[in-house]
Amino acid sequence: MPEPTRVIAQTAVRNSLVQATLDLVSERGYENVTLEDLAAATGVSRSTYLRHVGSKADAVVEGLMNVGDRVADRLRERPHDEDTWTALRRSLDDVVEAQSGASERALDLLATTWTSPSLSAAMWLRRTSWRSALAAALAEREPHLTLLASHTAAAAALGCLDVALELWSASHPHTPFSEVLDEAFRAITLT
């Protein structure tokens, strides 16, 4: 069934506001952009901005990490004969792909997410929902795992992602992000 026109329009407005937020924050720096600046730059009122994106931090996190919502689906698509840890790593390939073309501004903004308290909090909240979704997909894939084990494995995979993103974005290396994430995953052995 097709989405109602209203939902499509709301999604388009939200996406536009998120992109405008990323552009302005990348240009001026996260701490130097107010909600009033964002509302003025996007041509909406402050309340309209907040209604569509929640907060400046939410908009930045969504814009930087919008591929995360697909991670659980990617895990479900992995071959069932693939070992669990490899399947968890490969389920993050969309995140790897998103980082492969990251500009210096995008890397600076990503690095800011680890030092700004409001961005760190928004990132943590997003990761918590990802962990639950990833744990549910893992439980479907590996029914012998306990609830604790599936959540722990999902948290470990996302922890590898967090550490890899934090260190990689802060140092602006020439090493491809996929290699950094692979190294993080090798540092943990799932039993």
At 6-61, the pLDDT tens digits run 777 888 888 889 888 888 887 788 888 898 999 898 899 999 999 998 888 888 88
Percent above pLDDT 90 for the chain: 40
Per the domain annotation, does 132 fall within a domain? yes
> What b/e string do you get for 41-50 counting C-beta neighbours within 10 Å, with b at 16 or more?
bbebeeeebb
Range of the domain at 80: 55-186
Q: Supply the pTM of this predicted model.
A: 0.76
Give 87-118 pLDDT, tens digit per residue.
999 999 988 887 777 667 777 777 777 778 88
**In this model, does residue 1 exceed pLDDT 70?**
no
Residue 129 and residue 75 share a domain: yes
Q: What is the mean pLDDT of residues 139-148?
A: 95
| Of 178 and 127, more confident | 178
Residue 142 and residue 94 share a domain: yes
Per the domain annotation, does 191 fall within a domain? no
Q: What was the pLDDT predicted at 3?
A: 64
Mean of the per-residue pLDDT values of the chain: 85
Q: Could you give phi then psi for residue 94, rounded to 5 degrees?
A: -65, -40
